Every structure is written in C-alpha cells, then in structure tokens.
C-alpha cells in the first residue's frame, strides 16, 4: 500500500498547463519567466511586496479581486495562480534539472498527509524544468511580515500573543511529524488566511529545494537578509542549512517574536552593520552574542525572556515548542488563545462596548436634541415648531383678543453713541437676559427684540381667556421693578430709562420665511401697542383704553388716567398709566429719576 501511494504521482504532481495565471495587460497570458522576473510592470499592477520566500497578498490599484491576487509577487519567487478553481501560491524552485527520487516521493507523501489548522496545506508540485514549483494554498491576508509592517492594522498585546500562539501550535505539530523540522521558519513563511488564522508554510522538502541557483537572488543584500532567521550553528554548517533542525526552528521563532514586538524587521533598530555584517556577527558567535535589540517597553518582560531563551547561542538550551506553548499559556493567564479566539473575544468586548457606546451616543443625541428643541422653542412657539419639524404648513390664524407689549430705552441712541459696539452688545445682552428670566414666570410669548425694542404677547398661540391682559400688566410691572437692581456695566451710575406700553385687540399670527422662519403678528393691535410705548414716558407703563377696561374689571390693578394723547393714525386717544397692583410684592423705580421730556423721542 505504501509503495502504491509513493508511486501514485496523481496525488501530488500538478500539470503546469492546468494552472490559470494572470493575464498580461496586453491580453496575453503571463508566463512563468515573466512573473518570476520580479518586474512590477509585467504584472500590470501597482502592488508592492516585502516578503522573502513566503507569499503575500498586497494592495493593488485595481481593486480586491481574484485577478488582483494573481498579480501578487514576492521577491520574484512566488506566483499566484488558480488551480482547479482554488487560488494557490506557487514558489519557484531555481533548478535547471530535477531527478525525482524515492526520497522526494516520501517527502511529497509526508507533505500531503499533514493536516493542522496552523500548517498551510501543501497542494502539489510542478516538476518539469524550467517550470519547477512547490504549490501551497493561498492565504489572502498575506504574510506575517507584511501584516506587522502595515501600520494601518492595530495590533494590541493580546493580538500579538495570539500570533505567537498560532505559530507555536503549528510548529509543535510539525515537530511531532516525520518532517521533524521546518528548516526555513521566518515571518515571510508565516501566512494569514481570510479568517486571520496564522499558518506556517514553505516547510519540509529540504532535499527538493537544495542546490538551487544562488544567482536568482536580486542582490547580496537580499540573500543575507533572508538568513536573519537562521540559527548560528546552521550558518556554520552550510550542508545542514538546507534541512534545518528543530533547535534552528526555535531560533527562528525567537527572531519572529522580536519582529512581533518591534513591528518591523528584526535588526531595524541596529543600523551599524549591513545584512552581511549581521550574519557574520551571528555566525561567529561573538561575545556578547549579536541579536535583535528589543526595548523593554515594546513587550512584556516574560515575552522578552522567552525570545532570549529561543535565540540563545547554545542550541541544546533552547526550549521546545511544547514548553513554549506552556510558557505562553502561563503568560496569558492560563489560556492559549489563537488569533481567531482572540478576535472572537475582541468582538464580544466590542459588541458589549458598542452597546454601551450606543446608549451613551443615544443619550448624547437626546441631550443635543433637547438643546436644539429648547433653542427652537425660544424662537418659535412649541406647537408651531413641532408642526414645522413634521413638515406641516402653518396657515395664518386670527386671534380675537390678545395683549401686545412693547418697551424701549429712552436715550438709547445717545447712550449707544457714547459707548463702543462691544459695550452696547454687552449692555443689551445683560438687559435681555434679565428680561427673559422675568417673562418665564408668565403665560406670555416673546415675539422678538430689535435693537432696544422688546416685544411680548399673551393670548397666543394658545388661548388663555382674558388672562392675557393681567399677565402682560403684571409682567410689565416686574420688568420695570427689575431695573432697580440692574447696572449698566460701563456706566454703573446711570439709571436705565425703560418705557413700556401695551394694548389689547385682535391680531393675525403666522410663520413667515423658510430659511429663517419667524412667528410674526400683524394687525392694527400691534401698531397701537407700539404707539403706546413710543408715546409713553420713561419709567412708566402706558396703557390703552381697551386694556384699561379689562384691567379695571379685575379690580387689583392701580391705574391713573393720563388724558388724551395724539396717536399717529388714530388722532386723540384717551390713555392711562399703570402704577401697580394691590397685592404687588415688588417696588418700582422712583419716577423722579426719569429722563426729562427733551430726552424723549415720541413717534
């Protein structure tokens, strides 16, 4: 049975003609020689690759498709193609001739029999020169080397630990098989599949890979860089270097741990020696031994001890992968979490954090909505604002009995001329903040402020019977009273000369404008109320006859007949002064402090 399996080449031999390769931009199929030349132009993409030996999946200018995967090249030695509908990685073996021996057949069978989550699948081989390839499953996330050097991917300590666990699991499995050792363990020979599982690849087949043409290397620099993961004892014994050893794999693993901690090349922090000089320093075992420099704050102390144990000069003192797994488990609180396990854990935490974040954001959104609504309701009545938010139109509405209040400041033009613009703004802001605090106590609606003019109405947009006149009257008294404690910041000794007036009658109310809608009042009542204010006197409240009659019926307001006053557009009109109410708890300013008539401007 064994002999039959060894001789059954259909189990592992791959016909090169069955592999679908990427098309050249000209429309012709890309040949092996074109692809392995390493020319980016030959691939028709802008992809870049840093890996050596292993395959990578890098970004391409034309999008993430299978065609772009075909264009992925790694140091001119790995080609991506399709075999039997599956994307595969094809590593070029630089030999002009190949004689398949029984040892090769045994190795192929061993490779085909391997099955482990952290060991990349061996598909087969193309064995006829000049197209000699070892073919493995393609892992779409690329090599670990590329992953570590990609700054856009965030790798926390838990993620790094999981990567180390995945590699150690794969290597522990390999060391327990007839293959015995990897031989070329390095970050570019650790690949990441679509599920973020890290797998070791390019393992075994030492006899098949030996005696390759060194001229295939692009430069001496690249050739020596590829030796960074080779143990010193293997560097000293070139013949054994093709096959590697288990202790040599441990050394390479230690170098990978340094890369994981640094997220860059193992000797990137040491720029004194070139790659050839580094290999010579490692090979000759100088004291102290030459190894990657990893700052203590780049990884946990225990991880630092582990990598130093792995790359120690004496091979027999290096740990096994089974003991490394025990070490990692102890470091990770008794758990051996793979990258996938870690990602599930991260997703659970993320989901939990997301729920909290959604709740927090919802609360913030509700708070911002409340603030926005509050601001909107200050400018437009609540029921009007709610209808506008729902996209409804607001038709004009007639209100038969409404009281409208106006006030302004006598001598404001002169005061503003003697003040700076900032002082005027501060003064009006202080005054209107005071007034806004007062009117909140009453069933009134602030219509607008224009300069020193302040306009308020009651009885709309929600009806309140005849209470609107008493609300405005009491409000006007408290506004006048509030001046006793008001100080103009830049003229603290000056008495503010407020004059007020109101009138009761019918108005039409409606929303005007689209970009900055305003709830406006129209009608003769508005004009008459404005005349009550402009024909009044400082520190007094001027009341029309209509409002007077309504207040008189309530019996609590103290009023005085002013007499007939000329009102523009009305002629001679009988008006009244409002002095207070019988149950009033606040004092009004002394009228003897009022501005003289010559300082008044009557309209």
- Listed residues 311, 337, 363: the one ending a domain: 337
| Residue 374 covered by a domain | no
Using alpha carbons, select from 378, 402, 382 the residue that is nearest to residue 394.
Answer: 382
- Residue 328 and residue 436 share a domain: no
Average pLDDT over residues 88-112: 84
- Residue 323 and residue 412 share a domain: no
User: What is the percent of the chain with per-residue pLDDT over 70, rounded to a whole number?
Assistant: 86
Q: Is the model more confident about 516 or about 230?
A: 230
Question: For 558-565, which contacts have Cβ atoms below 8 Å and span 24 or more sequence positions?
Answer: 558/582, 565/535
| Residue 365 covered by a domain | no
Q: Which two tokens stand for residue 189?
A: 């020979």
| Mean of all residue pLDDT scores within the chain | 83
Least confident of 223-232, 506-515, 553-562: 506-515
**Domain CATH for 595:** 3.30.70.1230
Total count of domains within the chain: 2
- Residue 15 and residue 108 share a domain: yes
**What's the pLDDT score for residue 172?**
96
d(CA 297, CA 198): 25
| pLDDT tens digits for range 365-403 | 999 988 888 887 777 778 788 887 787 777 889 999 999
Q: Is the pLDDT of residue 424 over 70?
A: yes
**What's the pLDDT score for residue 44?**
33
Strand partners, 405: 456, 502
Q: Is the pLDDT of residue 570 over 90?
A: no
| Residue 148 covered by a domain | yes
Average pLDDT over residues 146-165: 87
Residue 548's pLDDT band, with cuts at 50, 70 and 90, is very high
| Residue 349 covered by a domain | no
User: Distance from first CA to last CA of the chain, Å, rounded?
Assistant: 118
Least confident of 93-107, 278-292, 530-544: 93-107
| Residue 363 covered by a domain | no
- Residue 400 and residue 329 share a domain: no
Q: Is the pLDDT of residue 6 over 70?
A: no
d(CA 238, CA 163): 30
**What's the pLDDT score for residue 204?**
84
d(CA 53, CA 76): 9
- Residue 533 and residue 418 share a domain: yes
Residue 339's pLDDT band, with cuts at 50, 70 and 90, is low
Average pLDDT over residues 424-442: 93
Residue 7's pLDDT band, with cuts at 50, 70 and 90, is low
Backbone angles phi, psi at 359, to 5 degrees: -60, -45
Question: Tokens 């327990």 correspond to what residue?
Answer: 176
Q: Which two tokens stand for residue 324?
A: 């490394």
- Residue 332 and residue 438 share a domain: no
| Residue 347 covered by a domain | no
Q: Is the pLDDT of residue 53 over 60?
A: no
- Listed residues 295, 311, 337: the one ending a domain: 337
**What's the pLDDT score for residue 336?**
72
Average pLDDT over residues 562-582: 90
pTM above 0.95, yes or no: no
Average pLDDT over residues 445-472: 91
| pLDDT tens digits for range 237-267 | 866 656 789 999 999 999 999 999 999 889 9
**Domain CATH for 163:** 1.10.510.10
Question: For 596-603, which contacts have Cβ atoms below 8 Å and span 24 or more sequence positions?
Answer: 597/537, 599/410, 599/411, 599/414, 599/497, 599/538, 600/410, 600/499, 600/537, 600/538, 601/410, 601/413, 601/534, 602/534, 602/535, 603/531, 603/534, 603/535, 603/568
Least confident of 1-15, 113-127, 223-237, 576-590: 1-15
**What's the pLDDT score for residue 40?**
31
Q: Is the pLDDT of residue 43 over 50?
A: no
- Listed residues 289, 315, 337: the one ending a domain: 337
**What's the pLDDT score for residue 229?**
95
**What's the pLDDT score for residue 41?**
29
- Residue 161 and residue 29 share a domain: yes
The domain of 537 spans: 396-599
- Residue 402 and residue 306 share a domain: no
Angle at 431 between CA 425 and CA 435, to 5 degrees: 140
| pLDDT tens digits for range 101-147 | 888 888 888 888 889 999 999 998 888 888 888 999 999 889 999 99
Q: Is the pLDDT of residue 214 over 70?
A: no
- Residue 402 and residue 297 share a domain: no
- Residue 272 and residue 417 share a domain: no
| pLDDT tens digits for range 482-528 | 998 898 988 888 889 999 999 999 999 988 877 777 888 999 999 99
Residue ranges of the alpha helices (H) in 445-579? 467-482, 524-534, 545-554
d(CA 234, CA 92): 23
Q: Is the pLDDT of residue 601 over 70?
A: yes
| Residue 473 covered by a domain | yes
- Residue 293 and residue 429 share a domain: no
| Residue 370 covered by a domain | no
- Residue 427 and residue 331 share a domain: no
Task: Give residues with Cβ within 8 angstroms of 69, minimum separation 6.
Answer: 57, 80, 87, 138, 140
Q: Is the pLDDT of residue 49 over 80?
A: no
Backbone angles phi, psi at 232, to 5 degrees: -60, -40
């Amino acid at each position: 049975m064994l002999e039959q399996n060894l001789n059954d080449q259909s189990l592992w031999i791959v016909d090169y003609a069955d592999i679908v390769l990427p098309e050249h931009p000209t429309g012709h199929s890309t040949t092996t020689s074109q692809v392995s030349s390493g020319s980016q132009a030959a691939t028709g993409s802008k992809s870049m690759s840093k890996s050596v030996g292993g395959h990578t999946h890098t970004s391409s200018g034309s999008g993430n498709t299978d065609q772009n995967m075909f264009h992925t090249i790694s140091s001119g030695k790995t080609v991506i193609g399709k075999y039997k509908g599956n994307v595969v990685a094809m590593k070029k073996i630089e030999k002009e001739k190949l004689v398949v021996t029984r040892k090769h057949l045994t190795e192929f069978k061993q490779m085909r029999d391997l099955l482990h989550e952290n060991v990349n699948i061996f598909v087969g081989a193309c064995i006829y020169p000049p197209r000699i390839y070892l073919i493995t499953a393609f892992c779409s996330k690329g090599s670990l080397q590329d992953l570590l050097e990609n700054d856009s991917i965030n790798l926390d300590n838990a993620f790094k630990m999981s990567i180390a666990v995945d590699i150690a699991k794969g290597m522990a499995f390999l060391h327990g098989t007839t293959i015995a050792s990897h031989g070329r363990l390095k970050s570019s020979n650790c690949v990441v599949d679509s599920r973020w599982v890290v797998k070791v690849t390019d393992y075994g087949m030492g006899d098949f890979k030996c005696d390759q043409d060194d001229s295939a290397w692009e430069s001496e620099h690249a050739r020596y860089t590829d030796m960074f993961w080779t143990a010193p004892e293997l560097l000293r014994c070139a013949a054994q270097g093709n096959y590697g050893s288990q202790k040599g794999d441990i050394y390479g693993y230690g170098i990978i741990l340094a890369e994981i901690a640094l997220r860059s090349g193992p000797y990137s922090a040491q720029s004194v020696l070139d790659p050839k000089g580094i290999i010579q320093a490692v090979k000759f075992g100088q004291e102290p031994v030459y190894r990657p420099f990893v700052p203590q704050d780049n990884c946990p102390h225990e991880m630092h001890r582990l990598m130093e144990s792995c790359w120690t000069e004496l091979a027999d003192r290096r740990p096994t992968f089974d003991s490394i797994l025990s070490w990692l488990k102890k470091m990770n609180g008794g758990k051996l979490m793979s990258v996938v396990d870690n990602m599930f854990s991260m997703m659970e935490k993320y989901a939990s954090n997301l729920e909290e974040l959604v709740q927090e954001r919802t609360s913030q959104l509700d708070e911002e909505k409340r603030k926005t609504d509050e601001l909107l309701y200050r400018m437009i009545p609540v029921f009007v604002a709610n209808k506008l938010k729902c996209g409804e139109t607001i038709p004009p509405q007639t209100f038969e009995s409404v009281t409208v209040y106006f006030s302004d400041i006598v001598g404001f033009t002169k005061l503003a001329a003697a003040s700076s613009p900032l002082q005027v703004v501060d003064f009006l802001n202080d005054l209107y903040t005071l007034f806004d605090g007062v009117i909140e106590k009453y069933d009134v609606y602030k219509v607008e402020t224009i300069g020193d003019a302040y306009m308020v109405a009651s009885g709309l947009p929600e009806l309140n019977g005849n209470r609107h006149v008493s609300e405005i009257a009491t409000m006007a008294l408290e506004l006048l009273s509030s001046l006793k404690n008001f100080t103009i910041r830049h003229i603290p000794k000056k008495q503010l000369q407020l004059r007020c007036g109101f009138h009761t009658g019918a108005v039409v109310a409606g929303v005007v404008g689209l970009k900055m809608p305003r709830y406006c009042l129209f009608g003769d009542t508005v004009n008459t109320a404005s005349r009550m204010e402009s024909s009044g006197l400082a520190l007094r409240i001027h009341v029309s006859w209509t409002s007077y009659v309504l207040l008189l019926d309530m019996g609590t307001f103290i009023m005085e007949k002013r007499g007939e006053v000329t009102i523009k557009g009305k002629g001679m009109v009988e008006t009244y002064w409002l002095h207070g109410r019988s149950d009033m708890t606040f004092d009004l300013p002394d009228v003897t402090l009022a501005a003289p008539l010559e300082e008044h401007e009557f309209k």
